[in-house]
Amino acid sequence: PASRDVEPIALPDDIAAALGGNDNVRAVRALHGRYRVELTDAARIDEGALAQLTRGIVRPQPGVCHILV
């Protein structure tokens, strides 16, 4: 089977800041129309800032969010 390894993705600075800073982001994966982000501390998310910057946020499990762009 094909490898699922992907190159690291850098989030735009304003979105990274709204997620609590780059030091709070453990992993990012770009998907169709969204970023899948693993966080160190989900409590550091600035929901208001993300609402202004993106189409929305989905939290399918603790420590993981999907940022809709």
The answer, yes or no, to whether residue 67 has pLDDT greater than 80, is yes
* pLDDT at site 9: 79
The model's pTM is 0.84
Residue 17 has pLDDT above 80, yes or no: yes
Residues 21-65: tens digit of each pLDDT: 999 999 999 998 999 999 999 999 999 999 999 999 999 999 999
> In the chain, which ranges are E strands?
25-31, 34-39, 56-61, 64-68
Residue type (1 letter), 59: R
Position 51, amino acid: A
